[in-house]
A and B are shown apart, each in its own frame.
Chain A
């Protein structure tokens, strides 16, 4: 029996099409993926991402512990700050990608991917031996909403008592009368906030957001938006069989912190690297499609149709010598060779 979001009834009322996702039953779309995608690019949309997991880490060694397990420099997160980082295995394989929020000097909240949450929690608890830290599974305590788009902040400001957090900052505010942890983060390439709140309060906030004009958006638009923005999706572009250097995430791996996996990554020379690409003609790339490049084979890890560019776009691993933007590649879409070109990130830019 899949788990249901605290907003299940709201989704049905809004005409959602629900699908199984990472053990949850979540909305894939309401009116339609493209309309929702455009709402976020042009105005404001709201996503229920309550399937995301949360881990609360607290205690005198909380910072030292997270510095040990997370790839980025956790000591650089100011109080009320937010930071993207990775959990790696000893060999550098990526266990998860996650956002960590510093709620206090010795208290952090880390948001996990739903499909990895149990694995992450077990891993963190194993790694916690010797640290004066408590690793709490807080997934059941939080609902999560993402309010995204150029109008997101204006809409939230109308409902908020207090000032919204800046990008990569957090604030504890009342929104529509409900206490929320408001985070200046997102997964769409647009401005906006993510809201963490008590599951019992989620329907009231959801209704207030819709009443204020936010368009309900499903996981379909979430995926097409993040792909245009070239954000990694764990399970597609990231996995235990790839390391952060190959995935282009070396920027959030601070090797001198000595995090688990850092030794394996030091001096690592990738044979393949993850690149964004766009088709130059017809067709739509899909995950798993083989790539042919001048210096060897590769594979599509995410693919789809770009509602903004109206072409097939994707990300995939290609030989390092073929990773330069502008390099022509070919994608084998179920037997048909389709022409594509390596692009720079992001695939979609506002000025386009």
Chain B
């Protein structure tokens, strides 16, 4: 696994999820901290296309050898794309959490929800205290 990193172009939810916002769509995934805490991810159960995500609510599950973790939606919206490659090879979430390990693309219900998310510096501070 790569070293800890929290790219500056992403917004972060305190439940350890990121959003790469592009107008009224966004791509979601889990943070370096989250994948490190979960350990080697061996199973990702993606949501269905068209699923309605609610900010702060779980939308998918990831599993390590030992445990199950929920993935929390950083913002609300409708799933327009799921990363099928990650469903087949979930270790990409560990090796590249902000790139190949992305989870879903969402049409945002309310782009203004971004105001409730953390920037990279604030999120890095949050996990440094954890």
- Of the listed stretches B9-17, B59-67, B78-86, B98-106, chain A binds B59-67
Beta-carbon contact of A284 and B43 below 8 Å: yes
Assembly CA distance A315 to B40 (angstroms): 22
Assembly CA distance A220 to B63 (angstroms): 14
**With A220-B65, A305-B63, A305-B65 in contact, do A33 and B39 touch (Cβ < 8 Å)?**
yes
Q: Determine if B42 is an interface residue (Cβ-Cβ < 8 Å).
A: yes
Pick the most buried of B40, B43, B63, B66: most chain A CB atoms within 10 A of its CB: B66
- Shortest C-beta distance, B117 to chain A (Å), equals 28
Q: Determine if B49 is an interface residue (Cβ-Cβ < 8 Å).
A: no
Candidates A17, A29, A284, A334; contact of B42 at CB < 8 Å: A284
Name the residue of chain B whose CB is nearest to the CB of A33.
Answer: B65
Candidates A17, A28, A283; contact of B43 at CB < 8 Å: A283
Candidates B39, B40, B45, B68; contact of A286 at CB < 8 Å: B68
Name the residue of chain A whose CB is nearest to the CB of B63.
Answer: A284
Assembly CA distance A282 to B42 (angstroms): 11
Interface residues in B, total, Cβ within 8 A: 11
Assembly CA distance A286 to B66 (angstroms): 9
- Shortest C-beta distance, B94 to chain A (Å), equals 9
Assembly CA distance A336 to B47 (angstroms): 13
Which residues between 182 and 233 of chain A lie within 8 Å of chain B, taking CB atoms?
220, 223-224
List the 6 closest pairs (A to B, CB-CB), nearest first.
A33-B65, A305-B42, A305-B65, A284-B63, A32-B40, A220-B66
Beta-carbon contact of B65 and A224 below 8 Å: yes
20 A–B contacts from the bound complex (CB under 8 Å): A28-B66, A32-B39, A33-B39, A33-B66, A34-B40, A34-B65, A37-B65, A220-B39, A223-B66, A224-B66, A283-B45, A284-B42, A284-B43, A284-B68, A286-B68, A305-B42, A305-B43, A305-B65, A312-B43, A336-B45
Chain B residue numbers with a CB within 8 Å of A224 are: 65-66
Which residues of A approach B to under 8 Å, CB–CB? 17, 28-29, 32-34, 37, 220, 223-224, 282-284, 286, 304-305, 307, 312, 334, 336
Chain B residue numbers with a CB within 8 Å of A37 are: 65
Assembly CA distance A17 to B43 (angstroms): 21
Assembly CA distance A37 to B43 (angstroms): 17
Chain A residue numbers with a CB within 8 Å of B43 are: 282-284, 305, 312
Q: Is the interface of A mostly helix, strand, loop or mixed?
A: mixed
Which residues of B approach A to under 8 Å, CB–CB? 39-40, 42-43, 45, 61, 63-66, 68
- Shortest C-beta distance, A17 to chain B (Å), equals 8
Beta-carbon contact of A307 and B68 below 8 Å: no
Assembly CA distance A220 to B65 (angstroms): 8
Assembly CA distance A307 to B43 (angstroms): 12
Name the residue of chain A whose CB is nearest to the CB of B43.
Answer: A284
**With A284-B63, A305-B63 in contact, do A29 and B39 touch (Cβ < 8 Å)?**
yes
- Shortest C-beta distance, B12 to chain A (Å), equals 23
- Shortest C-beta distance, A56 to chain B (Å), equals 33
- Shortest C-beta distance, A189 to chain B (Å), equals 16
Chain B residue numbers with a CB within 8 Å of A307 are: 65
Assembly CA distance A29 to B40 (angstroms): 11
Name the residue of chain A whose CB is nearest to the CB of B41.
Answer: A305
Beta-carbon contact of B39 and A304 below 8 Å: no
Name the residue of chain B whose CB is nearest to the CB of A19.
Answer: B66
Chain B residue numbers with a CB within 8 Å of A282 are: 43, 45
Assembly CA distance A322 to B118 (angstroms): 52
Assembly CA distance A33 to B39 (angstroms): 8
Name the residue of chain B whose CB is nearest to the CB of A307.
Answer: B65
Chain A residue numbers with a CB within 8 Å of B64 are: 33, 305
- Shortest C-beta distance, B15 to chain A (Å), equals 19
Pick the most buried of B42, B45, B65: most chain A CB atoms within 10 A of its CB: B65
Contacts A34-B65, A305-B65, A336-B45 aside, 13 further interface pairs with beta carbons under 8 A come to A17-B39, A33-B39, A33-B66, A34-B42, A37-B65, A220-B39, A283-B45, A284-B42, A284-B68, A304-B66, A305-B43, A305-B63, A312-B43
